[in-house]
Amino acid sequence: MTTLSVVGVGYLGAVHAASMASLGHTVIGVDVDERKLEDLAAARAPFFEPGLPELLERTQDSARLSFTSDASVVAPATVHFVCVGTPQSADGLHADLSHVDAAVDSILPHIGPGHLVVGKSTVPVGTAERLAGRVRATGAELAWNPEFLREGKAVQDTLTPDRLVYGVPDGAAGERAAQQLDEVYRSVLDLGTTRIIADYPTAELVKTAANSFLATKISFINAMAELCETAGGDVTVLADAIGIDDRIGRKFLNAGLGFGGGCLPKDIRAFIARADDLGAGEAVSFLKEIDAINLRRRDRMADLAVEVCGGDVDGVHVTVLGAAFKPDSDDTRDSPALAVAAALRDRGAIVTVTDPEAIENASRREPDLTFEPDLTTALRGAGLVLLLTEWTQYRELDPHSVADLVDRPRILDGRNVLDPARWRGAGWTYRALGRP
C-alpha cells in the first residue's frame, strides 16, 4: 500500500481521497478551505454525494484518512494527486489555472526523487508539459491521470471506472510512473479495468474530448427538439428511434433544458479558447454552436412559460421544481434550472424554487430568489409549475394530488420526464420542450 496526498478536496478530491483510503492506502487530504477540512475531518461530506458519507466514516475509523491545511504534512506521501478546480476565468473562456499552479507549488518543497505528482484536474492541453519542468527540478516525476467522474455517481465512477488513462513521459521515467500508478490502482485494475497509456497531450485531450462529445450529443438532440417544436414532432420518440441504433446509443440523448454544472459548460469553452491559442480554433469551432444551442434552451423555456401564461408572467406565482444542475447533486454551478428561475423573476413572475438538496448553494448563488424546502408548501397556490431538475420525487409526483395544491394546473416539463397523457388526463395543461 502507498501513502498518498490529495491536494484539493472538493467534489473530485474528497471522493478520490476517501476512495483511495477505502482501497487500503494511507491518504493525506490537503486544502486551503478550513470549513471543508473541518467537515471532512469529522467524516461529514461537505457536499451532497451519495455514498460519500459512508465511505468517509468507514475510512476514517481505520485512521488511514486525514485532512490538513498544512502542505508540509504531505512529506511522507510518495504519490501526490492534484485535484483542484479549473473554473472558467472571470474575464473570458479560458480555464483559470491558478489553483493548479498553486497546488503544485505548495507541494514542491516537500517532494523529491521517487515521488510522483499526478494531475487529475481537467486542464487545457499543454498544461502537464508546462508543469513537468517544475516537478522534475525536485527529482520527482509528473503524470496526468484525468478523472471522468459524474456528480451523483462519483464514488462508483472512482472505484469502478470505465477506464484509467495515464499520461506519462516517454522512456524509463514514464514506465516508472505507470508502475507507481498501477500500485495505487491495483485493486481497480484487478477488476479488469482498461488502462490506457498515453503521452501528456493525449491524456489531457481525452478528458476534454469526452466532455465535448457528451455536450455535443446533448445539444444535438436539443437542436432536434428545436426542429420538432417548429415542424410539430416529438423529440422523445425521435431520440428513442435513433438511439436504438447502437452506433448512436440512447444515453445522453435526453432533450430538455440542456447541460449545466461545473464541468461540461466551462470545459467546452476552455477547449474553444485553447484551440484558438494553438491556431486550431477551426477544429472545434462547432463547440460554439453546441454552447449556443444549450443556452438557447433556457431562453426557450422562459418564453414557453410566458406563452402558457398568455403572454405575460408578471405577478404569476411560479413554482420551480429543482435548483441543482442535475438530480442527486447539490451543485448549482451553471444550473439551467436556476437560470430559468432567475429569468422568470426578471420578467416579473413571483418565483418560488424548491429542491431536496441544493437550496443552500442556490440561495448563495441567487439570493434574490425565494426558496422553499418543503415541496407541498412550494406548490401551494402556484399558477404555473416548472419541472427543471428531474429528481425522482418530482418525476413521481401524482398529478391529481398536485392539482389540489396549485391555483392553476399548468406544468412545463423541462426534462421530458413526465407522462403527458397522465398529466393532461388529470386536467393539467402540459407543455414540454420539443414535444407537441
Site residues (vs ligand UDX, CB under 6 A): 147-151, 211, 214, 218, 252-254, 256, 258-261, 263-264, 325-326
Catalytic residue numbers read: 263
DSSP secondary structure letter of residue 332: -
Min CB(41)–ligand UDX separation in Å: 25
Query: In this complex, which beta carbon is closest to ligand UDX, that of residue 327 or of residue 383?
Result: 327
Query: In this complex, which beta carbon is closest to ligand UDX, that of residue 1 or of residue 292?
Result: 292
Query: In this complex, which beta carbon is closest to ligand UDX, that of residue 336 or of residue 383?
Result: 336
Distances (CA, A) of 228 to 169, 170, 410: 49, 50, 21
Q: Which three cell numbers stand for residue 303?
A: 418564453
Min CB(264)–ligand UDX separation in Å: 5
Residues whose CB is less than 8 angstroms from the CB of residue 412 and which lie 6 or more positions away in sequence, other chains included: 301, 304, 305, 308, 384, 385, 386, 387, 431, 432
How many other C-beta atoms are found inside a 10 Å radius of the C-beta of residue 153? 15
The three-class DSSP label of residue 312 is coil
Measured distance between the N- and C-terminal CA atoms of the chain, rounded to whole angstroms: 58
**CB contact at 8 A, 202 and 38:** no
Min CB(218)–ligand UDX separation in Å: 5
Q: How many helices (H) and strands (E) does the chain have?
A: 18, 14
Maximum distance among all Cα pairs of the chain, rounded to whole angstroms? 71
DSSP secondary structure letter of residue 258: -
Query: In this complex, which beta carbon is closest to ligand UDX, that of residue 47 or of residue 325?
Result: 325
Min CB(262)–ligand UDX separation in Å: 6
Q: What's CA 25's distance to the chain center, in Å? A: 26
For the chain, the helix, strand and coil percentages under 3-state DSSP, each to the nearest 5: 45, 15, 40
Q: Which three cell numbers stand for residue 227?
A: 426542429
Query: In this complex, which beta carbon is closest to ligand UDX, that of residue 174 or of residue 258?
Result: 258
Q: Which three cell numbers stand for residue 424?
A: 393532461
CA distance 45 to 237: 39
CA distance 120 to 81: 7
**CB contact at 8 A, 392 and 329:** no
Query: In this complex, which beta carbon is closest to ligand UDX, that of residue 93 or of residue 350?
Result: 93
Min CB(183)–ligand UDX separation in Å: 24
Taking each helix axis as running N to C, give the angle between helix 286-308 and helix 200-231, from 0 to 180 degrees, rounded to the nearest 10: 40
Query: In this complex, which beta carbon is closest to ligand UDX, that of residue 5 or of residue 122?
Result: 122
